[in-house]
Amino acid sequence: MARTKLNERQLDVLRRICHGETPITSNDSDLAATVYALRNRGLVTTTWADGRWSAGPTEAGHRHLAQTDARLAPRPSTSAAPTAPEAAELITRLQQSGGTLHITNPTPDERAHWRRALHAARANHLVPEGHHLQHTGRDKGDLTIALRPGPPPRRSTPPNETVPVPDDLPPETVHPAAAAAHIPTCPDCQPRARRILHALCHTAEAKNYTVSNPEPGSAASLVITIGDSSFPLSFHEGSSEVFDPSGAKYAWQRVTARTTRPSHELELSLEHTYAHRGRRSHWGDRQRWRLEDKLPTLFREIAHRAHTDDERQQVQQRKEEETRQRWLTAMRQARTALLEDHRLKALRTQVQAWQEAVAIRAYCDALEDQHVTPEVAEATTAWTAWARAYADRIDPIPQNPGLPEPPVITPEDLRPYLRGWSPYEPKWK
């Protein structure tokens, strides 16, 4: 649940995700930052499919939107938000008008009221089964609201993006990372491979990714970085065995020797990691396509892996924060328990001293009540005087004791109270 109020843009995006006619996906790049902000607040989720993410509402998102809409004044003539009866009236008007309402150039307040009425109709499940609501003119112009048969239309899948690879590339125009890349191919394939790297660099930077050369000693040719995730890309060239006529001394001699020669078939591969095992990691030339045709698929895989890494990192961070909070709670409880034991020990010591002082004085009174000879009485008086002085010294009552000073607490002092937690860090001992 969000701790602070959402701004108008975030509310609009949340409303589209909860009740919009078309889904919000990674194709809506201008909304990505807002979607991530809503996701961090637990109001929406993002799921990955077909090379792109789609945003969906959580229960907390529906609840937050309903509470927010209930607080907002939707109509110029009243401060009340559209209710279920008003939303039902909207549906009735749509059915009576043949399924379409047309409002000529409404004011911003009127336009907002109609939007919230649409939201109330959807939220209260008032839309007739087998129909959906549509509207145009959300922010300006005339507003048209329609009740259409069938499910809400889904946004058609956009055509695959392309990664343009130039046919000719002067050396001075090659991207610096591509120019400095180590490409383990035959000389004939070097120019083509460098053009592919050049296209990868420019496309990655257009997506706000970072491109760089790998560390010395790495077999990779290029590294693409998205957020905290880095993806090394390595070039490979296939080879084939052919007969080697140079081994024959005579023209009539049968050639049996073989040699390995480059196949001029290029392949790009992502570094294998167990975090993404089972995912596609190789793209290359085949009979039906060239490596250049598969570069968009390569970028989609990189984006998917970055998204997966980000999700895993968020889960790990949440787990670490939950563990840290449990540890901090255990530490506070341990300090409280230790302080309680310290006070109980002081209290018991005082009670025992008080009880001993009371017993000593009672004993002295009993001695003094005895009828003895003057010689014995003198010795008894000296003894009881010393005993009473001792009782006065140990008796805590005349000192008016208060809360004892807290002790100096070390981590090891807390260990017996932590029930398995380490007193030094959020871990089990």
395: which DSSP letter?
A: -
Quick one: tokens of 401? 């004791």
- DSSP label at 139? S
As for how many domains the chain has, the answer is: 3
Do residues 279 and 179 both lie within one domain? yes
411 part of a folded domain: yes
**26 falls within a domain:** yes
User: For the chain, percent helix, then strand, then coil, each to nearest 5?
Assistant: 50, 15, 35
Q: Which two tokens stand for residue 297?
A: 């698929």
**What letter represents residue 156's amino acid?**
S
Distance of CA 49 to the CA centre of its chain: 18
Separation CA 315–CA 408 (nearest Å): 38
Low-confidence spans in the chain with pLDDT less than 50: 1-2, 73-80, 156-158
The pLDDT score that the predictor gives to residue 131 is: 87
Instruction: Tell me whether residue 297 is in a domain.
Output: no
pLDDT at 341: 96
pLDDT in tens, 244-289: 666 666 666 666 666 677 888 899 999 888 888 888 899 999 888 8
Is the pTM value of this prediction over 0.85? Answer: no
Q: Which amino acid is at 213?
A: N
Boundary of a domain, candidates 285, 318, 352 = 285
Task: Tell me phi and psi for residue 428, to 5 degrees.
Answer: -85, 140
Which of residues 252, 285, 318 is at a domain's end?
285
pLDDT at residue 103 in the model? 84
Give pLDDT, residue 1: 41
Cα separation, 281 vs 270, in Å, equals 5
Q: Are residues 180 and 246 in the same domain?
A: yes
Same domain, 142 and 180: no
| 159 occurs within a structural domain | no
Q: Using CA atoms, how far apart are residues 200 and 220, in angstroms rounded to an integer?
A: 14
196 and 276 both lie in a single domain: yes
Query: Which residue range(s) make up the domain with 254?
Result: 171-285
Quick one: how far is CA 354 from the chain centroid?
60
- Does some domain include residue 280? yes
C-alpha dihedral over 224, 159, 58, 94, to 10 degrees?
A: 160
In terms of phi and psi (left: phi > 0; alpha: psi -120 to 50; beta: otherwise), the region of 86 is alpha
Which tokens sit at 314?
């968020």
Residue 259 lies in a domain: yes
